[in-house]
Amino acid sequence: MLPDSHLKIVIVDESPIRAAILEDGLREAGHVQVIRIEDRTNLLARVYAIDPDVILIDLENPSRDVLEQMFQVSRVVKRPVAMFVDQSDTASIQAAIDAGVSAYIVDGLKKERIKHILDMSIMRFNAFSRLEGELEQTKLALEDRKVIDRAKGILMKVKNLTEEEAYALMRKTAMNEKKKIAEIAQSIITAAEMLK
């Protein structure tokens, strides 16, 4: 993430008065690249075009449709999102969490708090992104393990090898061909399927 003063921050707010509170809080915290979007028409495309580092959404009394549109921005854009609302309910809070909103602040729009909320949103987003990355790596490793085990079984049956010998053969082949063992294993499975 960029140093604080270089962050490009988008504020989504139809109210000039409320947006001014956010802008003042950000500027006092040293943020100079602050862009305000007043109109929510084509919001996703406009946010994409700006490519912000952080998104602050301020909604006075959001309807379900407006909340869903904001949650869509959070899900698709993959950036820290802090959402300020005047009132909320359990379903809206749960939907915000499910959508990946980094901070959901109810009745807390005070310019002195903006920097802390922004920092917390970025930290929470980064922590969540790391967890997502680790989960994805774990899933891939598990899939690779399944493919390797299946290929070992094929080699053990076809070449009458022990499990250790089958794995050693795949490892040696992978090193010789400068490929991953999972790629060699997948080739063995594909070849076995073709020979059935």
* C-alpha Rg value of the chain to the nearest Å: 25
Taking every pair of Cα atoms in the chain, the longest distance, rounded to a whole number of angstroms, is 77
- Domains (ranges, CATH) in the chain? 4-109 (3.40.50.2300), 135-194 (1.10.10.10)
For 149-195, the pLDDT digits (tens) are: 999 999 999 999 999 999 999 999 999 999 999 999 999 999 999 88
Strand partners, 81: 55
What does the pLDDT read at residue 139? 95
What does the pLDDT read at residue 160? 94
**pTM beyond cutoff 0.75:** no
Count of CB atoms situated within 10 Å of the CB of 82: 26
* Helix or strand (DSSP H, E) at 183: helix 181-194
Residue ranges in the chain assigned as alpha helix (H): 16-28, 43-50, 64-77, 90-99, 114-159, 163-177, 181-194
* Helix or strand (DSSP H, E) at 101: none
Percent of the chain with pLDDT over 70: 95
Structure tokens given for 55? 């998104």
For 95-131, the pLDDT digits (tens) are: 888 878 888 888 767 888 888 888 888 898 999 889 9
3-state SS of 120-146 is: HHHHHHHHHHHHHHHHHHHHHHHHHHH
C-alpha 147/C-alpha 142 separation (Å) is: 9
C-alpha 99/C-alpha 144 separation (Å) is: 29
Percent of the chain with pLDDT over 90: 38
Cβ neighbours of residue 12 under 8 Å, at least 6 residues apart? Answer: 36, 37, 40, 43, 47, 55, 56, 57, 58, 70, 73
Lowest mean pLDDT among 44-53, 70-79, 120-129: 70-79
